[in-house]
Amino acid sequence: MGRSIPKPMISAMLLEKRGVALSYEEFMHVVLVCDKSVNSSWMALKSRLTSADEASFDAKYHLPTSHVLANQLSPRFVTDFYERCVNYQFDHGGEFLLEAMRRDQYGVGRLFLPRTVGYVGGETGNHGEWDHESLFFCYGSVPYSIVVFTSGDFSPGEMNWPVAALIGGLFRDCVAGAPSYTIAEEVRPPIRSF
């Protein structure tokens, strides 16, 4: 079955393939996969795509090689994908994707971020071994995307709140609450081997 995070990418690939000229049925499938993570809609979209479509999409937008159709993703791929979304770098359907993902399934990550965050969306899910939360948002004029993949039964339950709290805490401590500095002032810790 489809997982939550690959669903916006599959939607983007179909938008690219169709040049935005989706049928009404396809339009509704995109909304349902991005908003409610509906697996039947994921299967409907996936049936319209091939590995060649995926390779073409990744190459055109300089995304890391991944296997979205096989539910195999890396945090780097997801973060790069979101970066292209929030900076309107897709030729087809970028604003539609953003709005669909803004209506994400759980969206609890936003509850833990500072109020100054302007736009939040993404995909969430809790599927046993692959618990995850992903967010994109703007803080001031800077767009961010954060992806956390965990292993094991990290945060069971519908709301998956510990992952969201982790994201919010890291952002507050390391970005929003961090003092500004220049590279020249940065003190690098010694490299340690483990």
Strands (E), 5-155: 117-125, 132-139, 142-149
* Domain spans in the chain, listed from the N-terminal domain onward: 6-178
pLDDT bin (cut points 50, 70, 90) of residue 25 is very high
Tell whether the model's pLDDT for residue 30 goes beyond 80.
yes
CATH class of the 6-178 domain in this structure: alpha beta
Check the CA dihedral 108-113-118-119 and report its sign.
negative
In the prediction, which pLDDT does 14 show? 96
pLDDT bin (cut points 50, 70, 90) of residue 91 is very high
pTM of the predicted structure, to 2 decimals:
0.78
> pLDDT tens digit string along 117-133?
877 777 766 665 666 77
Q: Which one has a higher pLDDT value, 67 or 156?
A: 67
